[in-house]
A = this chain, B = another copy of it.
Amino acid sequence: MSTMAEKSPRDDARDILRSHLAGRGMRRTVQREAIIDAAFRTKDHFSAEDLLLMARAIEPSVSRATVYRTLPLLVESGLLRQLDLGGDTTIYDPNFLDHPTHNHLVCVDCRKIIEFEDPHIELLENCITRRLGFSPTNKSVKIEARCDEFQRSGVCSKQSSARGA
């Protein structure tokens, strides 16, 4: 019982983007649709350049400029989250629709990104924010860490949530 009428995150995303556009007199174009389809075809994080490649696989006419112009739209409408993980390029995370409060651990050895979710952190952040006299809008925890397994054996079997490895 999950074969026909299932709504994927991509579908949700497309709907959300369409209302977002509609609400401001913006137009629906093949390029924008290709970009959003590309963005939600994967659960991996990606850079603008990655997204360009993925979108071009769907619609070859997509240009770099359009990707850069569309990304802020997707972020504003809540479809993507921009991550500051400290690299030289900005990366984007398409998993916040499904898991709105998850956070990231970056392995300093494997460079992999592990996603995790923890209700206590969430709660604590809200308390702290209120105590300081603010209303929370966006919270992010970044943990940099060494992989224990890698330390012992020189390999790491953990799944990267970022690069499909």
Say yes or no: B84 contacts A86, CB within 8 Å: yes
Select the residue from A85, A108, A140 with max chain B CB neighbours within 10 A: A140
- Within the complex, the shortest CB–CB distance from A35 to chain B, in Å, comes to 22
Which of A4-12, A18-26, A51-59, A142-150 has 4 or more CB atoms under 8 Å from chain B? A142-150
Say yes or no: B120 contacts A133, CB within 8 Å: no
- Indicate if A82 sits at the interface (CB-CB under 8 A): yes
Quick one: which of A122-153 are within 8 Å of B by CB? 124-125, 128-129, 132-149, 151
- Residues on B with beta carbons closer than 8 Å to the beta carbon of A140: 141-143
Select the residue from A107, A141, A151 with max chain B CB neighbours within 10 A: A141
Give the distance in Å from the alpha carbon of A137 to the alpha carbon of B151 in the complex: 13
Say yes or no: B124 contacts A124, CB within 8 Å: yes
| Sample of 19 more A-B contacts, CB < 8 Å, known A105-B128, A133-B158, A138-B144 | A84-B84, A84-B86, A84-B142, A105-B129, A108-B138, A118-B128, A121-B121, A121-B128, A124-B124, A125-B141, A125-B143, A133-B148, A136-B143, A136-B145, A138-B143, A138-B145, A139-B142, A139-B143, A139-B144
Q: Could you pull out 29 A-B pairs where Cβ atoms are within 8 angstroms?
A: A82-B86, A84-B86, A84-B142, A105-B129, A105-B134, A108-B137, A116-B128, A116-B132, A118-B128, A121-B124, A121-B125, A121-B128, A124-B124, A129-B145, A134-B145, A134-B147, A134-B148, A135-B145, A135-B146, A135-B151, A136-B143, A136-B144, A137-B145, A137-B146, A138-B143, A138-B145, A139-B143, A139-B144, A142-B142
